Amino acid sequence: MGRPGPKKVHRYSVEFKLTAVKLSGMPGVQVQTVANALDIHPFMLSRWRKEVRDGVLKGRPKRGAAEHTR
């Protein structure tokens, strides 16, 4: 049973999303591994990857963006 009260919603920057997508696209790296390292749900990362493929999520990841948290 979940906790009572409102759910906490995290907002991630475009740079964070793009960096996560870039990391997950590296040879030999699995989406699950990147998601665990960044403390995000693998489905969320998969959705960001699709958004990049579809051209919805655009831009360039900033250097060191993976170090920033939500």
Give a yes or no: residue 1 inside a domain.
no
Q: Quickly count helices (H) and strands (E) in the chain.
A: 3, 0
In this structure, is residue 58 part of a structural domain?
yes
Q: How many domains does the chain have?
A: 1
Q: Is residue 9 part of a domain?
A: no
Taking only the tens place, the pLDDT of each residue in 32-70 is: 999 999 999 999 999 999 999 999 999 877 665 454 444
Q: Which domain holds residue 21?
A: 14-63
The whole-number pLDDT of residue 62 equals 64
| pLDDT digits 0-9 by tens, 7-20 | 777 789 999 999 99
pLDDT at 2: 61
* Assigned domain for 47 exists: yes
Q: 34 in a domain, yes or no?
A: yes
Q: How far apart are CA 51 and CA 45, in angstroms?
A: 10
20: closest CA among 36, 1, 3? 36
